Chain A
Amino acid sequence: DARVTQTPRHKVTEMGQEVTMRCQPILGHNTVFWYRQTMMQGLELLAYFRNRAPLDDSGMPKDRFSAEMPDATLATLKIQPSEPRDSAVYFCASGLEGQVNNEAFFGQGTRLTVV
């Protein structure tokens, strides 16, 4: 059953703490996306990777957010220090680049609450 797996599903943390969200893309996919969903802004692209290299992270606040792919089976999104305005649902999606008919498959998201 090929799917994108995100952990944790829910995270409550105090302001100032570091938060790490993890994503396991579908095996064989070479493109990974991080999206953030809030009531006000809807779904926004934070960053995306191709073959583990960051292609675009212009959607991320650079001072506190960082995204990496330590290997092909793991993508991470870190927030340090976290702030209440970071409360949102963070989605990871993966896809196979280069094929016209391809699409991105989404994980179930991590709901982050910063208090």
Chain B
Amino acid sequence: AQTVTQSQPEMSVQEAETVTLSCTYDTSESDYYLFWYKQPPSRQMILVIRQEAYKQQNATENRFSVNFQKAAKSFSLKISDSQLGDAAMYFCAYRSYVFTGANSKLTFGKGITLSVRP
């Protein structure tokens, strides 16, 4: 079974600065997806970024980028130029490569609460 660990329950960042959220995972699979989801106070789960394990290049979406270290099973999220709207809970998640059957479920970490100081 796969596990996802987010060991930091809370982090804080100054507006306009950069913050990195950590995540580690464990799996015996060679192909899979990793995700970061954002959950603002509205509760909506918003997909921030996705990384395919077979791709060596780290995914980037505007101010969000990841540092994917497959051998170390590490998947951190970097938020650059932090904005007040980035304040939310962030979840790291794992999914098997093919979206079918038992492999289609997401396994989540416990989440980290990010606050942004003005």
Contact = CB atoms under 8 A, between A and B. Distances in A.
A104 B104 contact: yes
B62 interface: no
A106 B105 contact: no
The winner among A50, A96, A102, A104 for most chain B CB atoms within 10 A is A104
A42 B43 contact: no
B93 to A, nearest CB: 8
A25 interface: no
Contacts of B98: 98, 100
B16 to A, nearest CB: 30
Interface of B: 35, 42-45, 47, 50, 91, 95, 97-102, 104-111
The 7 closest A-B pairs by CB, nearest first: A106-B45, A43-B108, A42-B110, A102-B99, A109-B43, A97-B100, A108-B44
